[in-house]
Amino acid sequence: MSAGDKMKTACVTGGSGYIASALIKMLLEKGYAVKTAVRNPALGPLTVLRADLEEEGSFDDAVAGCDYAFLVAAPVNLASGEDPEKELIEPAVRGTLNVMRSCVKAGTVKRVILFGAAPSMNINTSVPNCLALLSGDEVWLGVLKVIERTSGSVPLGHIDDLCRAELFVAEEPAAAGRYNSCGLSTTVVELARFLEHKYPEYDVKRNLQADDQLLEKPRVCLSSAKLVREGFEFKHNTLGEIYDNVVEYGKALGILPN
């Protein structure tokens, strides 16, 4: 950045989350000034602002003066939700509209972007899901199976690629509309075979047990063709690359034994 260039500022919602914390780290490394909003602020290396998706106008201060807003915060309770429409989808829509109204008020936001180790040490949804076959946690393994049944596959992506994709569509002038960022689509069975071979110290076969409803091969694959066509390149598109760091991260969080 030259002396005459103005430092770009980005707001990232849900700053204490797994994806958001990794995105914040990447933005800081790229030279951005970052503002983040969390429901319960805590002391740390970043200055954080209190904001709640359900509170109208609570993101006004967070997005004020920002060039970009990354909407990463979302209500997530897949393991125990009895009514996903009311508990997940409706609050997410209300929260998204809330933040976007704050962006309009700010008048500085050029673009809103909606849906390796991370700085966050919270146990968040995506990590225990990915590690369920190793940990043997029946609840999270059940969530993994639900994802496969409802979507036709288990879509996976490396956290680094996801953050790079978020930044790519923020900075790419021609970016518009909806994008998928999916390194690969697999199944619970394929994932179990891979993990059983790579991590023999875990009893993956016992943890999986028999389930006739599981797919052998993906029925549906999420396409990232639009993202790639516009110039984005995935760095991690195999199970080995995607799981390279997540197991150590799971050990650090206490999900897996050391």
pLDDT at 1: 47
pLDDT at 160: 92
pLDDT at 45: 43
Q: In sequence order, what E strands does the chain have? A: 9-13, 33-38, 48-50, 68-70, 111-113, 154-156, 184-186
What's the token pair of residue 145? 């199976």
Q: In sequence order, what E strands does 47-199 have? A: 48-50, 68-70, 111-113, 154-156, 184-186
Decide the pairing of beta strands 184-186 and 154-156: antiparallel
Closest CA to 119 of 255, 228, 253: 253
C-alpha distances out from residue 222 to 11, 160, 180, 185, 195, Å: 28, 18, 7, 7, 22
Q: Are 165 and 179 in contact (CB under 8 A)?
A: yes
Q: Would you give the distance in Å from CA 73 to the centre of its chain?
A: 9
- Going by the DSSP 8-state scheme, the letter that residue 185 receives in this structure is E
Block residue for tokens 């319960």: 40
What's the token pair of residue 166? 């978020």
What's the token pair of residue 110? 């050029």
138 vs 240: CA distance, rounded Å: 24
pLDDT at 92: 82
Decide the pairing of beta strands 48-50 and 33-38: parallel
Closest CA to 230 of 184, 175, 182, 178: 175
pLDDT by residue for the chain (258 residues), tens digit each? 455 567 899 999 888 788 888 899 899 999 998 988 877 665 444 556 888 888 899 999 999 999 999 888 776 555 455 676 777 778 888 888 999 999 999 999 999 988 744 455 455 568 888 999 999 998 889 889 988 998 899 999 998 999 999 999 999 999 999 999 999 999 999 999 999 999 999 989 877 876 668 999 999 998 999 999 999 999 998 999 988 778 888 888 788 887
3-state secondary structure at position 40: coil
Identity at 231, one-letter amino acid code: G
Q: Are 255 and 131 in contact (CB under 8 A)?
A: yes
253 vs 216: CA distance, rounded Å: 31
189 vs 205: CA distance, rounded Å: 10
